[in-house]
Amino acid sequence: MRKQFPYDGNFDPPAPVLPLRVAAPGREDAVLLPALVDTGADCTLIPRAVSRHLALRRIDRLRLEGIEGIARPAPDEFVEDNAGSILIWNNTTQISYIDVTYYRKSAPQALMIILAILALTGLVLIGQYYTSISLI
């Protein structure tokens, strides 16, 4: 069976969003949530209110380390402790989706190194160009 779903225009750029049925193992009570299809995701997040409503028990705790990024909308609380960074949104019933884009803390430094290498390469090419036309 094959079914097609349109991209959600609320994302920029538009992204694939599918209905996701979330339920506790062995129970009929479930919640249908819109889920962003992200093949590079390391984890799946659901609103705390849904977790409480379904009486889901915590199996493990995820530690996020060495990442920074942008969260839209901004979280109501941001906590950083020994476990890592924790973003908390309190009233998620008014939010259609939460977008968290993250990158490693070393990403800005790596970008600066790449830009410096490109700038040096450009200067070398310009130097070679002017050297070659002055020899003519």
pLDDT in tens, 90-120: 666 666 666 666 666 677 788 899 999 999 9
- Structure-token pair, residue 24: 């506790």
Give the pLDDT of residue 6: 80
pLDDT in tens, 34-62: 888 877 776 777 877 888 888 887 776 65
Other CB atoms within 10 A of residue 17 CB: 20
Q: Which of 3-12, 65-74, 83-92 has the highest mean pLDDT?
A: 3-12
Nearest-CA neighbor of 98 among 89, 111, 86, 108?
89
Tally the residues of the chain. 136
Q: By the 8 A CB rule, do 36 and 30 touch? A: no
Contact between 41 and 16 under an 8 Å Cβ cutoff? The reply is: no
Q: What is the average pLDDT across 14-27?
A: 85
C-alpha atoms less than 13 angstroms from C-alpha of 57 in its C-beta half-sphere: 2
Give the amino acid at 41: A
